[in-house]
Structures are given as structure tokens and as C-alpha cells.
Structure 1
Amino acid sequence: MRTIATAVCAFLLLPLSAQERPDTVYTFRFVPQKDMFYVPWGGNDTELERLLQCVERYREDILSGEAPLYVDGWCNSLDGERENLRVAAIRSNRVKSELIVRGGIKEECFITRNHASDGDFVIVRLTVPAPEASAAESDGPGEAEAERLAAERAEQERKAAEERRRAEEARRAAGQAEADRLAKEQAAGQAEQPQEITAAPLESQPSAPYRFALRANLLRWATLTPDVGVEWRISPSVGIMVNGSWTSWTWQDNARRYALWEVAPEVRWYLGETKRGYLGAMFKAGQFNYKLSATGRQGDLLGGGITGGYRLPLTEALSMDFTLGLGFLNADTERYDVTDGVRVRRGTETKHWWGPINAGVTLVWKLF
């Protein structure tokens, strides 16, 4: 792999006979894996100010093409050569944009190359035209000029060494971070492995959280009494539910009738870690009208009691709810006969009932 030393030395280690056009190198650092040019970061502001001063000094030579700006973008902190080259190109364009906007030069003034190796930085090199030598200096640079060139080359070599050191530290840090990440993933995998081996069956796992669900009591549907309901889980342990039933059937030319409607709100407390079993409090109200023999009965019913049951999961979205309710019902009943199609009242009665007041095998569908 090419190193930054190769790139810089290729620019700097020129024959001393060419010292009339010395190279000036400027280095701009980038955050690994990022393409944004943070000017105040890593000394980029100082380096940019130096470069802008140099551009201002040699603007005419740069605009005429005599002194082009060589821009090399570098990136090796991403996966894959293609991605590194793409980010290196973006970094080069960011630096060039700053020079175009603040230095007043054009895109044609740049010669750009991008590299998928060595580090996260952009190097700008300007071959500075040396001032014309006087007759006394025509045989070679003076002593002061030679000292200046030597000092500049030493500074450039120092910067190259510093960049190599920074690139190596960044690679080591990235390698350590990757090793830590793999170690954490391995530890997490080992912690989860026993759970996968001893995974509990679906019915023994905690109930999946949900907020709203639709319900259908299959026992009521089996008696041709449509029954639907909704449940709102205000917390994992508490649910508010409302069930409703309605049916109306007649046969034998209206000589027989079966009609009913009920509304039954309920509050439930789900128990245990799995939240499968529950206890609840229910209220029930409705009306009925049935005539299965010569005498029919119609009236109102009102009552309530406690409920209990268990919810068996079928899938992630479906479960079966087995319910039994015990309590009190009051029914104000009116007996009647039908004569020539007219209901004839035969008396009233009031009945009280203690015992089972509700039963259900209910299909529950979690909406969300």
C-alpha cells in the first residue's frame, strides 16, 4: 500500500537543480469516515489561512495555469476501495470549494487525484514560481535562498512524519473500537444462547403488549347470537372491556320468537409475570323476548359480579380467552300469549339469580 510518505516525497524530493520552483504543501485533516470539512478542527483554520495567503500572492500565475494547485484526497477508514475513493473525492471538492469561494480562483486551476489508502486528509501542493534571479545570482541560489529551501523541506518532512503518526494512531483506534464491538456482540450472543436453547413454549412466555383488541365470544355465536367486544389495555396489568350481544329470530309465522340484547362492561386485572390469568368485575344490562311455547316472556335484566379466566396465546396476534362469571342477576319478566296475532298479557314476575351469569370462549385479535 502506498503511504503518505510516498505521496509527499514524490512532491518534495526533487533535484536540487529544480529549486527555482519550490513546492509548498498544505495538509487538511478530516474526521475518520466523515466527508465534512471542519475548518476549525485539527489546525485546519491555520493551514487554510496560510494557503489563502499563498494563493493571493501567486494569483496571476495560478489563474494563467503556470502554477496549478495539485489536490490529493485520501481516505482509508471505510469498507471497500470504492467507498473510500468516493469520500476522498468529496473531501477534495470541499477543500477546493473553500479556495474557489474565499480565494477567487476557478475549478480549472486544480489538478485533482484521489486515493483509497494511507489516512483521512487532503493535501494541496502549489509549485511556487521563484523570483527572477539577478545577474549576480544567475549561477545559482544565494546562501539565504538555500537555507530557506532547506528549512522549508525540513518542515514538510516533519509534517509528513506527523501525518503518518496520526494515520497510524487512527488505524489503531479504529481497530481497537472494532475489537471492543466484536467482544460485546460475542458476550451478548453467549448470554442469549441459553435462552434460545431453553426457550419457553408460547403459552408460558409473557403476554405481548398491546393497546386495543377485538373480541368475539364463540359460545354466543354458536347459539346464533352475534357477540363482539373491544378491550383497551391501559397498562400491562389493567384492561377495560365492553362486550355486546344482539339477536332477533322468529319462526312458525311469528308464533315462535327469540330476541335478546346485552351490554357488559368489565374491568380486568391481569396477574403474574405472564399476564395470562386474570380477575375482573363485570356489570350487565339488557332486554329479552323469547316465546318457545304457548307462553312467551319478555323483560329487562340487570346484574353484575366477578369474572375470572385464562387467555391462551395462539399466535402473536390471536389468542383464546376462557371466561366464567359469577354474580347476581335481576329479571323483571312479563308473561304473554299471542291471540290472533295480538300479544295478551298474562302477568308479571320478578326473578333473582345467584350463580353463573356469564361464560365465554372468546377469540381475541390484537389490533395494536
Structure 2
Amino acid sequence: MKRLFLSIVILFVISSYSFSQSVGLKTNLVHWATTTPNLGLEFSFNRKVTIDIGVGYNPFVFKDNKKVQHWIVQPELRYWTCESFNGHFFGIHALIGEYNVGGVDVPLGRLKDLKEYRYQGYGYGGGLTYGYQWILSKRWNLEASLGAGYVYLDYDKYPCAKCGTLLESNNKNYFGVTKAAVSLIYLIK
């Protein structure tokens, strides 16, 4: 929780120093679909380069102790093929987060254990991103992006969503999708 607070403070301190022509305030609709409130800021350094910093936090526990609790901070440096906040971009991103997930029925490969077990730990990593941004109006844009890369997961495994008996402590190297976003953006400057 302290790390999340520190990350949010850093995000807003950076936003107070506008060293750019444009600033975009954004939210990732994909995160909202997983009940994760989120906020991002993107700063334009020049016509071709921006930095995007997004944070998300999910504190919720649902019926039958189902949870996908987590926080994540994901900064990204972007290069635009046309101009900032318009068209195609390529990026390099990092991520750090903490999670407590269990009791969720996901019938997909690696995630199918989430129904019977609870995993709690940290993740660190990064990757490459491709995206596209559409201009909707003078102040509003829509963005779609997808990133792939590496995440180091350090976790504790428990026998069920409510149980506190530790089964194992381990780590895992993950290669795959590290970012997925459909974001609504409000341009401040």
C-alpha cells in the first residue's frame, strides 16, 4: 500500500511540472472491465516522443471471497510515427505491481488454478508496445495498445481463496502479454 501511495504521489508531482506541449489525462477501459479503477497521464516532450504513466488499483473482494486485488504502475516511453497523440506509436514499458488473486473461475491455461488456489505476491517486468490513437475531437482521443514482454512473479500459494495456510513460496518467469489497453483520453493542453 505504501508503494502504491508513493507511486501516485510521484505521478502527480510529475504532472505538476509540465515540460511539454501537450498533456493527456487517460483511463484504461480494459482495467475498468476487471473492476480496476485507474488513471494515467501522458506528456509530450516534442512532436514524436511522449511518456505515459499509468496506475491501477483494485481493492475489492466479491461474493464467496472472489478477488483480483492488485495495484500496478506502468510507465512507458513512446515514439510516434506521425505526431504525438495521433496515429501509430511504438513504446517500451516497465511494470511493477502487487497482487492477491483467488476464487476466480478462469478456464484459460495458466489461470485455471485461480478457482482452487489463491496467489499473493509481486511482479516486475517490461516489454514492447504497439498502439494507435484516434482523434475524436479537439480535446478527446481514443487509444488501443498491446504490449508483450517479460514479468518476474514472486508469489505465495494458498489452498483456497480464504485459507491462510501457506502451501509454497516460489517465483515464475512469464513471457507474453504485459499490457492491453483501450483508453479514453482528455487532452489538457
TM-score range, shorter chain: 0.7 to 0.9
Instruction: Tell me the distance in 1 between the aligned counterparts of 2:168 and 2:122.
Output: 15
Q: Which residues of structure 2 form unaligned runs of 5+?
A: 1-19, 104-114
1:246 to 57, 79, 83: 57
- Residue aligned with 1:249, SS: coil
Match in the other structure for 1:282: 93
- Give how far 1:328 is off: 0.6
Find the counterpart in structure 2 of residue 140 from structure 1.
Answer: none
Partners of 2:163 and 2:177 lie apart in 1 by 35
Give, in angstroms, the shift of residue 325 of structure 1: 0.5
Taking a change above 3 Å as real, the CA distance of residues 342 and 219 of structure 1, as seen in their structure-2 partners, is closer
Amino acid corresponding to residue 69 of structure 2 in structure 1: A
RMSD of aligned Cα (Å): 2.0
Aligned counterpart, 1:359 = 180
TM-score, length of structure 1 as denominator length: 0.41
More helix by percentage? 1
1:217 aligns with 2:39: no
Q: CA separation in 2, counterparts of 1:273 and 1:233?
A: 10
In the other structure, the counterpart of 1:262 is: 72
Assess, with a 3 A threshold, how the Cα gap between structure 1 residues 354 and 342 changes in structure 2: closer, same or farther.
Answer: closer
**Rg larger in 1 or in 2?**
1
Matching residue of 2:144: 322
Contact between 1:210 and 1:366, CA under 8 Å: does it hold in 2?
Answer: no
What is the CA distance between 1:337 and its match in structure 2? 3.4
CA distance in structure 2 between the partners assigned to 1:319 and 1:338 by the alignment: 42
Tell me how far 1:251 sits from its aligned partner.
Answer: 3.1
- Taking the aligned partners of 1:260 and 1:273, their CA distance within structure 2 comes to 34
CA change 1:287–1:358 in 2 (3 A) is same
Determine helix, strand or coil for the equivalent of 2:165: strand
**Which letter does structure 2 place at the counterpart of 1:358?**
K
* Cα offsets for 1:236-282 (capped at 9, x unmatched): 111111000100221346x3322010000111111136852111110
Provide TM-score, normalisation by structure 2: 0.77
| Unpaired stretches in structure 1, ≥5 consecutive residues | 1-208
Structure of higher RCO (CA pairs closer than 8 Å, 6+ residues apart): 2
Cα distance in 2 between the residues matched to 1:273 and 1:305? 22
Q: Which amino acid aligns with 2:29?
A: L
Which runs of at least 4 in structure 1 moved beyond 2 Å after TM superposition?
Answer: 255-258, 272-275
- Listed one character per residue, the Cα deviations across residues 213-232 of structure 1 (whole Å, up to 9, x for unaligned) are 10100111111111210011
Aligned length: 158
Match of 2:48 in 1: 237
In the TM superposition, residue 342 of structure 1 has moved relative to its aligned partner by 5.6
Partner of 1:272: 82
Residue 112 (structure 2) pairs with residue 302 (structure 1): no
Greater share of strand residues, 1 or 2?
2
Distance in 1 separating the partners of 2:122 and 2:144: 27
What residue identity is the alignment partner of 2:172?
Answer: K
Asked if 2 retains the 8 angstrom alpha-carbon contact of 1:333 and 1:348, the reply is yes
